[in-house]
Structure 1
Amino acid sequence: MIREKKHRLDREQYIGEKIVSFTLCVKERKKLFVDDIVFKTFKDILLKEAEKFNISLLLFLFMPDHCHLLVKGNNQNSDVKNCIDRFKQKSGFWLAQNKPDFKWQKDYYDHILRDNEDLKNHLLYILNNPIRERLVDSWKDYIYKGSSCFDVDKWEEFIY
């Protein structure tokens, strides 16, 4: 039996007032997030899980075939990885019930920001994703984004 190489940090690395960037992909890079109902459903699941785990969603942005989540634990007991795992599980269940041709890719990518390391660069990278994909000319025009704690459309002064 071949075991997969461990690529995730120890669980305790994700607990506390950490800022973590996650990228979750749709299996086979199918275009799932191209409809308002799917976006709203996934946003609602994400907001509920973030509240349960005391997590701030600094920024979430759903591209057609993947999503970016920049999250922050709000206290020493916040578990950002568990929050994202639960979001992925619950949204995956919704997919099985409502859009069985779509599934999440098995794993996801993450990056723990250290001491607010390059928060501005992470925000810009995520916000500019729809521009790089030629979906919009300005990130402000992209509708499948949000935050649980900020008005994203007012970030222009902050990030430029």
Structure 2
Amino acid sequence: MDEFVIMPNHVHGILWIAGVGANNHSPLHSPLPPSRSPQHPRGTSKTIGSVVRGFKIGVTKWMRENHFDGSVWQRNYYEHVIRDDESLNLIRQYILDNPARWMNDHDNPAVGANNHSPLQDNHSPLQSDGNRKEPR
């Protein structure tokens, strides 16, 4: 886990995933270990979705054990592949600055809820297509 912030109604964070990709042989193309067979395929325990799902399960369990009721999670999540140091640093700064922008945030119920991608936020360092915004 890299930079992160917990907001009143959402979380921003950067996850580092190591050991996959062209240089580290994607697990999708690795041979099955001896204990596995085609009848028992590999699960999805090493995906972004499984990490998010595990986080949501853990937080929900803690909340229920501590007498918090109700649903706290939106149905989906947003992801973006960070491809270079410049993007990484812009996104880190966006995460660090997020609490200071909360009073004007479209996701703040006091401002007016609006279900939109954080990539559409005017303060996000990224455009809706995931590319870096040009400086204004």
Could you state the TM-score of these two structures normalised by the residue count of structure 2? 0.49
Q: Which has the larger radius of gyration?
A: 2
Does 1 or 2 have the higher relative contact order (CA < 8 Å, sep 6+)?
Answer: 1
Q: Which has the larger helix fraction?
A: 1
Q: Is the strand fraction higher in 1 or 2?
A: 1
